[in-house]
């Protein structure tokens, strides 16, 4: 059984970083030239100057809701269904050619599939989960509308695996096919794998599946252990329909290793500012995909970088996995308050290190408290200035509480809704 997909996984971290940064200018230039959206979004930025992480951090973050808004505006005007982000399309609709398929994810958001072999790069995650040439895989992701099943199938075919397209639903029929064909592998959600195993046990049978790559929902250690008791070793993949594979679990079971085709940043929610390693923030990725280039794409997911190298021998950055959602927008007294507004308050006061806006009270009695870490916790003038800025930015009054550095939890929350709902 192969240990690694290729030598890229074990290269020197400095060499990897240099290679990714060296590829940035070409990716940005290609996006600006071939994509109407990126030409507008990155107007004024010279590709040749983006050769470091600090330079990359100056580019704006494109968040998923902005991508969706762009596409919807384009649809209403009868324009490009991809909102100008893609460099491929199909005859009679876009100038560019080459999309193999088009998918619709919830939103709706439309994504193209380019012609590249293993377009979403999932083969690497499958190898880490123990899959190999010749395996029969039962694929229980959806083949309808969304790309989930196709993402896994492309990686499986790249490895030389055979795929049974189970899709979703029809549990009894899928179970019958599993018992007849006896696949060694499974791709799908972990909860459906458990349903299949339970139904097999109820019929006095045992699944032939021995390895699994799961995604699409939480995969707690308790379920991992439950499957292991049934001789199924299951591993996680973190992927999105837009970006493809972002990170994957290895036999070390210590976090998720970032994919080789991704340049990952963790930023403070509501901003584009990278946080220190270990601090929880939003996952932002740059994906080296010429058909659908994504540059500083904010996934909306929270995670954090783990220290050290993976015991599996893979040398890329590791993240803790999915830790929640970064979009913590809430309503206070009928007005929306966004994480970006909290970030703007911080930006205006360099003495303020970190902040969390806590909303308390009951219905129709909302109260805001901005809890701020600072080295000067007795600074009454700073407290008053922060309260004034909070009102200026949000148009709402709020109290300010100054705290010593390190007081706020490291969970990525910028806005905490602690109200009581009767």
Positions in the chain short of pLDDT 70: 1-2, 92-97, 363-364, 421-422
113 and 100 in contact (C-beta within 8 Å)? yes
pLDDT at 325: 82
Which of 261, 209, 211 is closest to 239 using CA atoms? Answer: 261
- pTM, two decimals, is 0.86
Q: Which residues contact 217 (CB under 8 A, 6 or more apart)?
A: 189, 190, 191
pLDDT at 2: 62
User: In the block, which residue shows the tokens 């837009």?
Assistant: 242
418 and 359 in contact (C-beta within 8 Å)? yes
What is the separation of C-alpha 72 from the centre of its chain, rounded to a whole number of angstroms?
22
How far, in Å, CA of 364 to CA of 333, rounded?
7
pLDDT at 364: 58
> How many CA atoms lie within 13 Å of 365's alpha carbon, on the beta-carbon side?
5
pLDDT at 328: 81
Which of 282, 299, 283 is closest to 414 using CA atoms? Answer: 282
Q: Which residues contact 5 (CB under 8 A, 6 or more apart)?
A: 123, 124, 127, 128
User: In the block, which residue shows the tokens 């990278």?
Assistant: 274
Which of 98, 62, 101 is closest to 83 using CA atoms? Answer: 62
Q: Which two tokens stand for residue 165?
A: 């397209």
Burial class for 420, CB neighbours closer than 10 Å (0-12, 13-18, 19+): exposed
Neighbouring C-beta atoms of residue 374, cutoff 10 Å = 22
Q: Which residues pair with 286 in a beta bridge?
A: 263
How far, in Å, CA of 282 to CA of 24, rounded?
21
Which of 339, 336, 317, 325 is closest to 411 using CA atoms? Answer: 325
Q: At what angle do helices 339-347 and 380-394 cross, to 10 degrees?
A: 140
Residues 26-56: b if buried by 16+ CB within 10 A, e if exposed: ebbbbbbebbbbbeebbeebebeebeeeeeb
Q: What angle do CA 229, 186, 227 make, to 5 degrees?
A: 15
pLDDT at 94: 60
Domains, the chain: 330-417 (3.30.300.30)
User: In the block, which residue shows the tokens 């129709």?
Assistant: 364
């Amino acid at each position: 059984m192969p240990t690694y997909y290729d030598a890229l996984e074990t290269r020197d971290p400095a060499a990897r970083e240099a290679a990714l940064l060296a590829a940035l200018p070409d990716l940005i230039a290609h996006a600006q030239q071939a994509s109407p959206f990126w030409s507008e979004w990155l107007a004024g930025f010279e590709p040749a100057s983006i050769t470091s992480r600090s330079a990359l951090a100056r580019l704006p973050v494109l968040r998923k809701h902005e991508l969706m808004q762009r596409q919807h505006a384009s649809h209403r005007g009868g324009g490009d269904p991809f909102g100008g982000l893609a460099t491929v399309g199909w005859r009679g609709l876009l100038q560019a050619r080459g999309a193999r398929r088009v998918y619709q994810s919830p939103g709706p958001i439309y994504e193209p599939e380019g012609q590249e072999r293993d377009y979403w790069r999932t083969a690497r995650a499958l190898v880490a989960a123990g899959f190999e040439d010749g395996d029969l895989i039962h694929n229980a992701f959806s083949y309808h509308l969304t790309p989930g099943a196709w993402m896994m199938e492309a990686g499986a075919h790249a490895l030389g695996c055979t795929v049974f397209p189970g899709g979703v639903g029809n549990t009894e029929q899928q179970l019958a096919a599993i018992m007849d064909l006896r696949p060694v592998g499974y791709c799908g959600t972990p909860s459906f794998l458990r349903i299949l195993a339970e139904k097999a046990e109820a019929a006095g049978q045992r699944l032939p599946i021995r390895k699994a790559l799961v995604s699409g929902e939480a995969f707690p250690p308790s379920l991992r252990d439950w499957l292991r008791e049934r001789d199924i070793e299951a591993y996680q993949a973190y992927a999105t329909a837009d970006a493809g594979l972002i990170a994957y679990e290895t036999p070390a079971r210590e976090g998720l290793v970032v994919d080789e085709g991704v340049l990952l940043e963790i930023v403070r929610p509501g901003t584009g500012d990278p946080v220190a390693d270990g601090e929880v923030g939003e996952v932002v990725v740059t994906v080296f995909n010429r058909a659908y280039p994504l540059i500083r794409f904010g996934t909306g997911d929270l995670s954090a970088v783990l220290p050290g190298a993976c015991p599996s021998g893979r040398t890329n950055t590791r993240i803790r996995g999915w830790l929640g959602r970064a979009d913590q927008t809430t309503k206070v007294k009928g007005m929306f308050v966004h994480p970006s507004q909290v970030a703007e308050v911080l930006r205006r006061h360099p003495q303020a290190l970190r902040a969390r806006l806590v909303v308390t009270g009951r219905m129709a009695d909302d109260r805001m408290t901005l809890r701020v870490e600072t080295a000067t916790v007795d600074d009454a003038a700073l407290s008053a200035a922060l309260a004034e800025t909070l009102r200026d930015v949000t148009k709402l009054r709020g109290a300010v509480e100054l705290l010593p550095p390190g007081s706020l939890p490291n969970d990525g929350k910028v806005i905490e809704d602690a109200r009581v709902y009767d």
